[in-house]
Structure 1
Amino acid sequence: MFITFEGLDGSGKTTLINMLVEYIKENYSNIHYILTREPGGKDIKMAEKIRQLILSKESELSPKSEALLYSASRRIHLEKVIWPALEKNKLVLCDRYIDSFYAYQGFGRNLGIQYVEEITELIIEKTYPDITVFFDINPEESKKRRLANRLFDDRMEDESDEFHKKIYHGYQFLIERDPKRFVVVDATKSVQEVFNQMIKKLLSNDKFMDFVNAK
């Protein structure tokens, strides 16, 4: 099973994913899982180097160059981590995946959803998530949290408010288009409340329960 996690910066996504990992270890100890991320990937030096290049404040990449680098990193990630894990019927938990690409590059960078989807189809070979958890905060709350916590010292931090609004609009478009795949969680609450929401929704998700019950 392949579960991805999405949200604007400052949504608490990474913290909540780590809480989910602990929950799985405590309640489903028979499930073999991997935790990975994009851009980059678990223990993949080349993909992590691409991540550093893309996010560096010194990078002067055009939107299309940035999109192609993200795609190269994703292909390496699939070949080295995701595909081998899925072949072994592991639970793959991935912090960002194609929906970030669609939202950030397709909408934020104005490349268009058709352009980024065409690239993606070549790269992922139909490896779409079974479930995508979206931690929902609006751009204003995202900015407030980023400034309060001094998060993300990378080139995305320097982008305009309009850029982040376009990303959020992109996510809303994706959720409306594929509501069965997305599990939307109100991330404006406390961390524990958000976590409880996520667990409740996963436990009522047929795909998730079919997977864990088969173990």
Structure 2
Amino acid sequence: MKKGKFIVIEGTDGSGKKTQADILLKRLRDESRDVSIFDFPQYGNKSAHFVERYLRGEYGGLEEVGPHKASIFYALDRFEAGEEIKKVLDSGGIALSNRYVGSNMGHQGAKFDDSFLRQEYFKWLYDLEFGLLGIPRPDLNIVLFVPPEVGQKLVDKKDKRDYTKGKKRDLHEENIDHLKKTAQVYREMVGLFPTEFVLVDCTDEGELMSIEDIHERVWDLVKKHIS
């Protein structure tokens, strides 16, 4: 049986990752595609326990929790779902994920000021997630991009989230400097790994595009991988 495809929606904070993943899921199902969706972190599950505590700042600030330690929190959450993703792919289906390893690369990679050290971290992370833990590797990572200042305002419009325990923003979202660095790292990732990561700019001449127009850009990329 032909192996299925693994598509991931990544992006800067507030870029509408979940919205675009949900719209893509509906379109694929409307076309009678066998598709399963995954969402990371898996908030509310035991596997996301350490991620939730980290994002609430219970282990300290961004500088106190280094990139390697935080990455392990997220990696183990993905490991928990790894076998389910493999089953979908082995059956020839499409696995669609809202965030994945690329989110670790963007947010934790932003903690490095030195680009060489950041690339060394990327190598370490690939070895951890795809090597040691053996989680499936995506066929396509679509990176939705909005300017950090715009993204932070969009985050504030989100519905209440249980894992933040009443706070509007989590540890990453409340720090605009971190969001700016993360946005830069996402662009760097697209340049370093052009066969794995593709950027979709969600603005047109400085204005945020409509959800429908962004979806069409996403769909143009996805249909090339599933045809």
TM-score interval for Structure 1 and Structure 2 normalised by the shorter chain = 0.7 to 0.9
Higher fraction of helix: 1
- CA displacement, residues 1-44 of structure 1 (integer Å, 9 cap, x when unaligned): 111111111101111110111111111x1x22211122228xx9
- CA displacement, residues 73-115 of structure 1 (integer Å, 9 cap, x when unaligned): 2222213x22222222221111111111111112236572312
1:88 to 88, 91, 96: 91
Equivalent-residue separation in structure 2 for 1:146 and 1:201 (angstroms): 26
- CA displacement, residues 98-143 of structure 1 (integer Å, 9 cap, x when unaligned): 1111111122365723124313323323732111111111212212
Equivalent-residue separation in structure 2 for 1:106 and 1:73 (angstroms): 18
1:154 to 149, 167, 170: 170
CA contact (8 A) 2:29 2:35 kept: no
CA RMSD of superposed structures (Å) = 2.4
1:69-80 paired onto structure 2 within 5 Å = 69-79=73-83
Q: Is 1:6 matched with 2:23?
A: no
TM-score by length of 1: 0.81
Alignment: residue pair count: 201
CA contact (8 A) 1:40 1:77 kept: no
CA contact (8 A) 2:148 2:179 kept: yes
Aligned AA (2:49): K
Q: Which residue of 2 aligns with 1:213?
A: none
- Does the residue aligned with 2:110 lie in a helix, a strand or coil? helix
Q: Is 1:164 matched with 2:179?
A: yes
1:112 to 93, 114, 118: 118
CA contact (8 A) 2:109 2:122 kept: yes
- List alignment gaps of at least 5 residues for structure 1: 210-215
Q: Which residue of 2 aligns with 1:129?
A: 138
Equivalent-residue separation in structure 1 for 2:147 and 2:139 (angstroms): 25
Shift of 1:66: 1.5
Equivalent-residue separation in structure 2 for 1:98 and 1:190 (angstroms): 27
- Does the residue aligned with 1:58 lie in a helix, a strand or coil? coil
CA contact (8 A) 1:131 1:182 kept: yes
- List alignment gaps of at least 5 residues for structure 2: 161-167, 203-207
Shift in alpha-carbon separation, 1:38–1:150, aligned structure 2, 3 A: closer
